[in-house]
């Protein structure tokens, strides 16, 4: 009897009959602005998926959002990134995911299977009048989701509006589902159904056979990994450091072009610091994974890679940011906690988090308050910039 049961079970699995259509990762919020937000999620099998959203508390029928490209609605896929548009600023919305399994997709006949609907979730669009902004900064998780969760547990997540992952979330990107257990699933569990995270690339996200696919998992403003995030009175500039070693280093096998990329990014940055959006901000924070510290500051024992890409981060970005009124720059990469005061060639302070700490940043009329807490819950830095 037992053998027969096992045989039947095996036949069911072989026929796909027991595979239920489910949402298996997400939803996680990305790219939340005053008027838009993206919902990212995956389904267990190929399907046609969409998001329904409406103002929270509204009795109006929810609007259906899909992704369309070149006249075709995205379908027969498992990974979804659906952009909600025409939202009102500073407003709470509720949303849910809907997916219809696509059992067969013939040129003239589509066969749908299970239809599934998620619970309602909610989030708030950015308020352009906000005078305060609270966010968390975590770097160098290197795939350790347990450590990441522990770090967030020590922060008042109910206050946090955005989590900035300041690089090196993984060692390298080689498996399509690798980012979920590394940090995305934990983010969903902790906050990301209702608040966005911003994934800033470190030098490790650029490594591995799938590094060129990373953009499919995270939102990038204007299609770039660098960008300006404006939340009310606060401007946050995110920079993309690239690799730490010279482009010509043998480990990159001639496949990176970060020197030119940084030069173009520096040109973009010049435009940002001259923009009304940036200049009108009351507070300005810059985030980049690799810290721009110069040779005089570098302790050779702690920071041996001061060449190639690392040196360029200093040479390309610091001159543009000098005089721009940057309150503080937040970095990671070194796995050592460091604080560099402004100096002759760099007129802003740099906070470098180690790989076992997270910072809570509270921006208000009192300034930019950075409170860093380690995995054991000890406060290792408290400073107003
Ligand atoms: Fe790094």
Q: Are 285 and 235 in contact (CB under 8 A)?
A: yes
Is there a single domain that holds both residue 118 and residue 174? no
Q: 151 C-alpha vs ligand 1 centroid, how far in Å?
A: 18
List of residues 6+ apart from 10 with CB closer than 8 A:
none
Q: 241 C-alpha vs ligand 1 centroid, how far in Å?
A: 9
Question: pTM value?
Answer: 0.93
> What sign does the dihedral 305-265-195-83 (CA atoms) show?
negative
Residue with tokens 């009897």: 1
Choose the final residue of a domain: 124, 158, 182.
124
Question: Would 3 be classed as within a structural domain?
Answer: no
Residue with tokens 């450590």: 147
Please identify every residue whose CB atom is under 5 Å from ligand 1, which is an ion.
168, 202-203, 333
Q: 167 C-alpha vs ligand 1 centroid, how far in Å?
A: 7
Q: Mapped to the 3 state alphabet, what secondary structure does 78-140 carry?
A: EEEEEEECCCCCCCEEEEEEEEEEEEEEECCEEEEEEEEECCCEEEECCCCCCCCEEEEEECC
* Residue range of the domain that includes 77: 21-124
What is the tally of structural domains in the chain?
A: 2
Q: What is the pLDDT of residue 297?
A: 66
pLDDT digits (tens, 9 = 90+) for 44-75: 999 999 999 999 999 999 999 999 999 999 99
Is there a single domain that holds both residue 254 and residue 334? yes
Is there a single domain that holds both residue 110 and residue 140? no
Question: Would 15 be classed as within a structural domain?
Answer: no
Rounded CA separation 199/112 (Å): 35
Question: Would 57 be classed as within a structural domain?
Answer: yes
Which residues of the chain, if any, have pLDDT below 70?
1-18, 294-307
Is there a single domain that holds both residue 263 and residue 169? yes
Q: 12 C-alpha vs ligand 1 centroid, how far in Å?
A: 46
Choose the final residue of a domain: 81, 100, 124.
124
């Amino acid at each position: 009897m037992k053998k027969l049961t096992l045989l039947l079970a095996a036949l069911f699995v072989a026929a796909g009959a027991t595979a239920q259509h489910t949402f298996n990762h997400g939803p996680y919020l990305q790219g939340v602005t005053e008027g838009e937000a993206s919902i990212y999620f995956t389904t267990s099998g190929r399907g046609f998926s969409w998001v329904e959203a409406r103002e929270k508390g509204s009795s109006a029928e929810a609007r259906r959002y899909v992704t369309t490209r070149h006249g075709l609605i995205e379908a027969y896929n498992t990974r979804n990134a659906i952009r909600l548009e025409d939202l009102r600023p500073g407003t709470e919305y509720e949303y849910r995911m809907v997916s219809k399994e696509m059992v067969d997709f013939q040129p003239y006949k589509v066969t749908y299977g299970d239809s599934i609907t998620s619970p309602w979730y909610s989030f708030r669009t950015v308020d352009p009048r906000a005078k305060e902004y609270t966010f968390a900064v975590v770097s160098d998780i290197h795939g350790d989701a347990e450590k990441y969760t522990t770090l967030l547990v020590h922060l008042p997540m109910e206050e946090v509006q955005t989590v900035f992952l300041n690089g090196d979330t993984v060692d390298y990107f080689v498996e399509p589902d690798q980012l979920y257990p590394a940090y995305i699933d934990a983010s969903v569990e902790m906050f990301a159904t209702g608040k966005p995270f911003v994934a800033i690339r470190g030098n490790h996200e650029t490594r591995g056979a799938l590094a060129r696919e990373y953009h499919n998992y995270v939102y990038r403003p204007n299609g770039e990994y660098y960008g300006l995030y404006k939340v009310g009175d606060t401007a946050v500039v995110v920079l993309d450091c690239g690799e730490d070693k010279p482009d010509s280093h043998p480990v990159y096998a001639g496949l990176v072009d970060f020197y030119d990329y940084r030069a173009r990014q520096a040109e973009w940055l010049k435009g940002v610091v001259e923009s009304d959006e940036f200049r009108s901000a009351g507070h300005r924070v810059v985030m980049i994974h690799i810290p721009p510290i110069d040779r005089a500051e570098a302790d050779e024992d702690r920071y041996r890679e001061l060449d190639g890409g690392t040196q360029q981060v200093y040479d390309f970005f610091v001159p543009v940011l000098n005089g721009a009124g940057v309150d503080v720059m937040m970095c990671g990469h070194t796995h050592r906690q460091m604080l560099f005061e402004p100096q002759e060639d760099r007129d802003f302070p740099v906070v470098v988090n180690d790989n076992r700490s997270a910072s809570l940043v509270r921006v208000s009329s009192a300034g930019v308050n950075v409170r860093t807490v380690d995995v054991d819950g000890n406060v290792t830095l408290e400073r107003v910039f």
